[in-house]
Amino acid sequence: MDVAVFSSTRYERQFLDQANQAAQHDLHYFDVPLDMDSVGLAAGYGAVCIFVNDRANAQVLEALHKGGTRLLALRCTGFNNVDLEAAARLGMKVVRVVTYSPYSVAEHAVALLLAINRKVHRAYNRTRDSNFSLDGLTGFDLHGKTVVVVGTGQIGCVFAKIMLGFGCKVIGFDPYPSAQFEALGLSYATAGEFAEQADVISLHCPLTPETYHIINSQTLKRTKPGAILINTSRGGLIDTEATIEALKSGQLGGLGIDVYEQEADLFFRDLSSEIITDDIFQRLVSFPNVIVTGHQAYLTREALTTICETTVESITDFGNKQALKNEVKVN
């Protein structure tokens, strides 16, 4: 099949090309994200492959359909950027990567937690300037602390296991309890109490209307003073402005995020020579107890291999008119 791949990067192309060796689809790479300004590039392509910050709203999908696209392949797990009702109305199939290495994201969440708690980023900058003072670098033992895992799917369960290895008390919060999580001997908190118990909150749930801004001003007011918040899932889970206020007051002791609510205009590109006009983001990164990475939690060889192989397999199945086991449908 002819496939238009949007938001493609140099490092990703080698994994897609490798996954495509047997299938021999005609992959056409575009650096730009998919939106109404770029959708014309997809004209004539039977399949379009997109990533997390590409826009597949009703207007874009209608333009894709008019151009002959019948398959939208997401090389990611989340699908909150796709209007599924519009896709169904147009008869367009949507597939995603249901799962890839859960260790990649869970381990990155742990890396953010450790870096924030032990001030690794600040120590690194100091020692490069030959400043070996330890003032302001005091952290706390994770052993014995309470870690709340919001979202107990595969990634959340892996993160929970790692935290158990540190000797933490681990509690889950999820409206859909996981047998895998409970098999670890762990229990769940209610919506009103999970923040109050947490020394650390780590988000591993999808972005849905129900989870949008699950961390908000009310949640943050209930957290233990000095708690650390980690988000490697989706930026919209956090009310960023409320989080900034909690950082300013000291209610929140640290923040480590790999995602940001308005990241589509920032992430996956080099803006080092430009002025960032997003004032909220600029305020966020001004705090010494905040670490932001640019949506790289999934970025391991193992995860990229699975993502690309799954995506190519779905495109092949569609081309061969076979059942799409990774299809996303309207509920």
Does the annotation count 263 as an active-site position?
A: yes
| SS3 at position 179 | helix
Q: How many CB atoms lie within 10 A of CB 125?
A: 10
Q: Which of 228, 252, 247, 223 shows the shortest CA–CA distance to 113?
A: 228
**Residue 200: in which H helix or E strand, if any?**
strand 200-203
Distance CA(106)–CA(110), nearest Å, equals 6
Does the annotation count 196 as an active-site position?
A: no
In the set 25, 204, 295, 309, the catalytic residue is 295
Does the annotation count 295 as an active-site position?
A: yes
Q: Using an 8 Å Cβ cutoff, are 293 and 108 in contact?
A: yes
Strand arrangement of the beta sheet that strand 200-203 belongs to: 187-188, 169-173, 146-150, 200-203, 227-231, 252-257, 290-292
Distance CA(223)–CA(146), nearest Å, equals 12
In the set 108, 204, 234, 309, the catalytic residue is 234
Q: Using an 8 Å Cβ cutoff, are 6 and 38 in contact?
A: yes
Distance CA(192)–CA(148), nearest Å, equals 13
Distance CA(142)–CA(170), nearest Å, equals 11
In the set 12, 107, 261, 263, the catalytic residue is 263
- Residue found under tokens 């889970």: 237
Q: Which residues are catalytic?
A: 234, 263, 295
